[in-house]
Each structure stands twice: as structure tokens, then as C-alpha cells.
């Protein structure tokens, strides 16, 4: 089963910068497909945070930014706030699945 690999958790104090990595393979990120990022607050549906590698939907603070290079991508959160404590998932298209593949998920903990 194709999957994108993320660290289980990252943590930081308020105001700090944290980054979340997302590692794929030649059938998804390495094939040139875009990466997208979602934020999931407890008990709620995922919310699109970054699309097309580094674009923010309307209403998403510019504290969130994304990048992609080869088979890897990352999400950065600067000026960490208590409300950023949530699960974050990366996602892309996979040619082997002919469909979507999600990351394993990362819990951001605000100390």
C-alpha cells in the first residue's frame, strides 16, 4: 500500500517555528504530483491548509507555508499558537493507486 511517511509528533513553544516532513516515492511526490496539507482538530473533519505545494486557501494564516522537492515535502508553522495544536496530514496523487495517498499524520503539540 502506497503511503506518505510523516513523523508521529512534533512540538514547540508558543511563538516558535516547527516543521513537518512528508516523504513519498517515485509513484507520488517523485512523479511530480502536487502535495497538499490538511489540519484536523479533535473531533472534526480535516481542513485544507495548503494546496498545490505552497498555496493557502482563503482564510488560512500566512504562518503556514509549504514546500516540495523531489520525493519530499514539508509544512512549516511559524509563530506557533495554542490553537495550532492538531493533527496534520499530507496528501498527494499516486500513479500506482490511480488515486489519492495520505500521510501517516503528525500531531503538533504546543508546549
Q: d(Cα 24, Cα 73) in Å, to the nearest integer?
A: 8
Kind and range of the H or E run holding 9: strand 9-12
Q: Does 99 bind other proteins (CB under 8 A)?
A: yes
Q: d(Cα 34, Cα 86) in Å, to the nearest integer?
A: 23
Q: Does 88 bind other proteins (CB under 8 A)?
A: no
Q: Which residues 6+ apart lie within 8 Å of 30 measured at CB?
A: 24, 70, 71
Q: Would you state the cell numbers that stand for residue 46, as one nine-digit string?
A: 480535516
Given 45, 59, 69, 82, the residue binding other proteins (CB under 8 A): 45
Q: How far is the CB of 13 from other proteins (least distance, A)?
A: 26
- According to DSSP, the residues that pair with 91 across neighbouring strands are 36, 102
Given 20, 29, 33, 66, the residue binding other proteins (CB under 8 A): 33
Q: d(Cα 59, Cα 28) in Å, to the nearest integer?
A: 28
Q: Does 66 bind other proteins (CB under 8 A)?
A: no
Which of these segments, 12-20, 65-73, 74-82, 91-99, binds other proteins (CB under 8 A)?
91-99
Q: Does 69 bind other proteins (CB under 8 A)?
A: no
Q: Does 74 bind other proteins (CB under 8 A)?
A: no
Q: How far is the CB of 52 from other proteins (least distance, A)?
A: 6
Amino acid at each position: 500500500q502506497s503511503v506518505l511517511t510523516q513523523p508521529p509528533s512534533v512540538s514547540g513553544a508558543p511563538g516558535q517555528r516547527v516543521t513537518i516532513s512528508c516523504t513519498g516515492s517515485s509513484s507520488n511526490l517523485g512523479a511530480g504530483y502536487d502535495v497538499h496539507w490538511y489540519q484536523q482538530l479533535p473531533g472534526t473533519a480535516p481542513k485544507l491548509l495548503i494546496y498545490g505545494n505552497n498555496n493557502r486557501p482563503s482564510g488560512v494564516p500566512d504562518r503556514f507555508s509549504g514546500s516540495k522537492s523531489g520525493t519530499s515535502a514539508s509544512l512549516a508553522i511559524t509563530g506557533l499558537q495554542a490553537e495550532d495544536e492538531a493533527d496534520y496530514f499530507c496528501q498527494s496523487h499516486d500513479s500506482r493507486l490511480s488515486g489519492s495517498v495520505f500521510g501517516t499524520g503528525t500531531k503538533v503539540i504546543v508546549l
